[in-house]
Amino acid sequence: MYRLILFLIIVFVIYHLFKKYVLGPFRPRHTKPGRKPPPITDELVKDPICGTYVPKREAIVYGRKGKLYYFCCKECLEKFKHPEKQTKP
C-alpha cells in the first residue's frame, strides 16, 4: 500500500515538473488558463514623406490647417515644412 502511495506521489511530482519546465517555455504566457491576451495599446501612423510606419506615441507631431501629421524623424518633418529647400538630383 505504501509503495502505491509513494508511486502516485512520484508520478504527480514528475508530471508537474514536466509541465512546468518542459512545456512551459514553449507556451505563450497569455494562453494560461484565466488570462487574456494583452490589449493592443498603440497604433501605427504613416510618415507622409518617407512612408515609414511609426508608433503614434513615438512619432513627431506637426499640425497644419487643422490636420495632424506624424513623422518618424526631424529630417522628415523639415522636408515637409520646407519642400522648396530640397535639392533634386
DSSP string, 4-54: HHHHHHHHHHHHHHHIIIIIGGGS-GGGSTT--PPPP---EEE-TTT--EE
**pLDDT score, position 71:** 93
Given a cut of 90, whether residue 8 has pLDDT beyond it is yes
Residues 27 and 48 in one domain: no
Q: What is the mean pLDDT of residues 64-85?
A: 88
Question: 65 lies in which domain range?
Answer: 44-85
Q: What is the mean pLDDT of residues 70-86?
A: 87
What is the pLDDT averaged over residues 33-41?
64
Whether residue 86 has pLDDT greater than 70: no
- Put simply, whether the predicted model's pTM sits higher than 0.75 gets the answer no
Domain total of the chain: 2
* pLDDT recorded at residue 38: 59
CATH, residue 64: 2.30.170
Q: Assess if residue 38 is contained within a domain.
A: no
Same domain, 27 and 56: no
What does the pLDDT average to over 45-64?
Answer: 91
